[in-house]
């Protein structure tokens, strides 16, 4: 990452520092989902991306449909939106944060880890709350891991060794389209003779998804039935099938016995779970139960479990927040020390209870994903959105500051794959029009330090 000089002036035009105007960039990291595919090939013609190879539709769209970016920061007043300079936008941000009683810094999953780190320092300086999008996705999975640990492994291990794969409450065909071709179902394994044919796929879901269509065993459970099914499978695996009723969560005991046998007989089992487990009734207890099932299976064979992290660098936000504060998300610095209690210090709860009096939303769309009460509150307080594109959250904000897009025209930095592997992004295009979020947060932090005399 380039060092930000103390006297950095946002009034100056940004100098291009990388990327190509014409040519092909290889080994590009896809900036879309948690798979962080790092084999993308991008063709640039006259400063525009004209071709993308190896990416799935979602990833290709991210590169090719990179239109509609906000050209400059904007501010809303009684007459509507007006363009302002980066310096003015940053001063506004500093102004609302420096004296706020309950400031919230939310989002961060589209940011590089370098920018996330500055975010934590800002939260500490202003006595605010910093939270990432994991609060509305795999936050419960982290709670479960804090209770019972995490028998995990890298995706490379799964690719080369796993002969039984379980997708539970996850539909990678639609949400992580290259997951199966790079790491599981369709990929050649180094330690298997005929991996494509020998590998067995089990899918657990409430509806028949495209992923379920290619499964060897599909368990169509009743909504909210994940916990009970995991309990039943745990009892069966440990030989206490006598207590399990004839049907659990819509699944017959015969099928549960069959699945338990497949899992026990695996040479290497890999369970992937999605929000169908982590964000349905029971939340972290569902995930905990799935982890304990995997623990039980490890008495018979090797088995691992991994969350299907969705938002690009959400895993990085949890890593960075934990290095610095000791906690992975929902960190409250209001008393100068880090405090963490999901349900109390997490964004949706803070906004619904109308505690927050100033907010900075970073690269995420609260307006599209949070409950109405949260959006209403956000619209009633000074809110700065830091995001390259206008979104539903723009309408809730008073100022929006556009940034360069990480992985496209932002300078290289670090992002974490869903299995906790840090990878370096590439800069595909040169950028002279937008500052990166790292630059913007460095500037905000420097100005807040001046204001606070820190």
Partner 1 sequence: MMRVTLTMKPRSNPFLPIEAEQIIPENFIGSRQVMVYEGNKEHSLLNICVIRRDGNVNTPENVSLILRGDWSRVKRVGEYMSSGTIVVEGDIGMHCGNFMRAGKIEIRGNADAWLGREMRGGVIVCHGDAGDYCGSGYRGEKRGMRGGSIEVMGNVGEFAAEYLTGGSVAVHGNAGCFAGVEMRGGYLTIDGDAILPAANMVAGECVVKGRVLEMVPTFERVGEENGMIVYHGDIANRGKGRLIVRSTSRTE
- The CB-side HSE value for 53 (13 A sphere, CA atoms) comes to 9
Closer residue to partner 1 in complex, CB, 23/343: 343
β-sheet bridge partners, residue 52: 42
Contact 240, 204 (CB under 8 A): no
Query: Cα–chain-centroid distance for residue 64?
Result: 22
Build a one-symbol-per-residue string for 163-202: x at contacts with ligand SF4 by CB under 6 A, - elsewhere: -------------xxx------------------------
Can you spell out the DSSP letters for 253-314?
HHHHHHHHHHHHH-SEEEEEE-HHHHTSTTTHHHHHHHHHHHHHHTTTSEEEEEE---BTTH
> By C-beta, is 48 or 252 nearer to partner 1?
252
The one of ligand SF4, partner 1, none whose footprint includes residue 178, by CB under 5 to 8 A per kind, is ligand SF4
CA gap 368, 377 in Å, rounded: 14
| Alpha-carbon gap, residue 111 to 405, rounded angstroms | 9
Chain positions 31 to 50 lying near ligand SF4, rule: CB under 6 A, are: 32-33, 35-37
Cα(169)–Cα(160) distance, integer angstroms: 23
Task: Kindly state the smallest distance separating residue 66's Cβ from ligand SF4, in Å.
Answer: 14
Q: What's the min distance (Å) between Cβ of 401 and ligand SF4?
A: 26
Which entry of ligand SF4, partner 1, none binds 30, CB below 5 to 8 A by partner kind? ligand SF4
Q: How far is the CB of 228 from partner 1 (least distance, A)?
A: 5
- Residue that is written with structure tokens 């949260």 in the block: 374
Judged by beta carbon, residue 50 or residue 61, the one nearer ligand SF4 is: 61
Residue with Cβ nearer ligand SF4 (36 or 244): 36
> Taking CB under 6 A as the rule, does residue 137 contact ligand SF4?
no
| 365/386 Cα distance (integer angstroms) | 10
Query: Closest separation between CB of residue 146 and partner 1, Å?
Result: 4
* Secondary-structure percent of the chain, ordered helix, strand, coil, rounded to 5: 35, 20, 45
Give the Cα separation of 86 and 67 in Å (integer).
21
Is the Cβ of residue 56 or residue 126 nearer to partner 1 in the bound state?
Answer: 126
Residue among 121 and 354 whose Cβ is closer to partner 1: 354
Shortest distance, CB of residue 38 to ligand SF4, whole angstroms? 9
Sites of contact with partner 1 (CB under 8 A): 100-102, 126-128, 143, 146-147, 227-228, 230-232, 234-235, 238, 240, 243-246, 248, 281-282, 285, 288-289, 292, 333-335, 340-344, 353-355, 357
What residue 143 binds from ligand SF4, partner 1, none (CB within 5 to 8 A, per partner kind)?
A: partner 1
């Amino acid at each position: 990452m380039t060092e930000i000089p103390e006297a950095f002036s946002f009034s100056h035009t940004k100098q291009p520092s990388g990327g190509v105007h014409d040519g092909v960039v290889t080994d590009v990291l896809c900036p879309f989902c948690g798979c962080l595919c790092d084999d993308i090939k991008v063709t640039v013609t006259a400063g525009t991306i004209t071709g993308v190879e190896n990416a799935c539709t979602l990833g290709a769209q991210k590169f090719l449909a990179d239109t509609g970016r906000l050209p400059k920061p904007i501010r809303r007043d009684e007459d509507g939106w007006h363009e302002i300079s980066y310096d003015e936008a940053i001063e506004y941000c500093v102004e609302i944060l420096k004296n706020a009683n309950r400031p919230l810094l939310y989002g961060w999953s589209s940011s590089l880890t370098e920018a996330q780190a500055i975010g934590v320092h800002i939260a500490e300086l202003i006595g605010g709350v910093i939270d990432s999008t994991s609060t509305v996705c795999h936050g419960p999975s982290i709670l479960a891991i804090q209770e019972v640990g995490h028998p995990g492994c890298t995706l490379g291990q799964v690719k080369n060794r796993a002969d039984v794969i379980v997708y539970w409450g996850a539909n990678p065909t639609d949400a992580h389209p290259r997951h199966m071709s790079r790491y599981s179902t369709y990929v050649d394994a180094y330690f298997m003779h005929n991996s494509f044919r020998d590998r067995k796929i089990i899918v657990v879901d409430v509806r028949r998804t495209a992923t379920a269509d290619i499964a060897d065993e599909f368990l169509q459970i009743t909504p909210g039935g994940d916990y009970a099914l995991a309990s039943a499978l745990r009892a069966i695996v440990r030989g206490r099938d006598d207590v399990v009723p004839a049907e659990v969560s819509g699944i017959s005991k015969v099928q549960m016995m069959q699945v338990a046998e497949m899992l026990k007989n695996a040479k290497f089992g890999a369970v992937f779970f999605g929000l169908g487990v982590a964000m349905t009734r029971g939340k972290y207890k569902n995930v905990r139960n799935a982890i304990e099932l995997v623990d039980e299976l490890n008495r018979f064979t090797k088995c691992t479990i991994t969350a299907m992290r969705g938002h690009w660098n959400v895993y990085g936000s949890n890593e960075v927040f934990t290095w610095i504060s000791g906690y992975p998300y929902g960190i409250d610095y209001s008393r100068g020390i880090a405090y963490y209690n999901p349900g109390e210090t997490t964004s949706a709860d803070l906004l619904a209870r109308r505690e927050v009096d100033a907010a900075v939303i970073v690269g995420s769309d609260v307006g599209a994903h949070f409950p109405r009460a949260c959006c209403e509150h956000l619209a009633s307080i000074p809110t700065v959105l830091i995001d390259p594109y206008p979104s539903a959250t723009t309408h809730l904000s008073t100022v929006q500051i556009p940034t360069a897009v990480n992985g496209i025209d932002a300078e290289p930095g670090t992002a974490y794959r869903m299995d906790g592997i840090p990878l370096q992004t590439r800069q595909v295009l040169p950028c002279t029009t937008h500052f990166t979020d790292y630059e913007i947060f460095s500037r905000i932090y420097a100005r807040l330090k001046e204001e606070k005399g820190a």
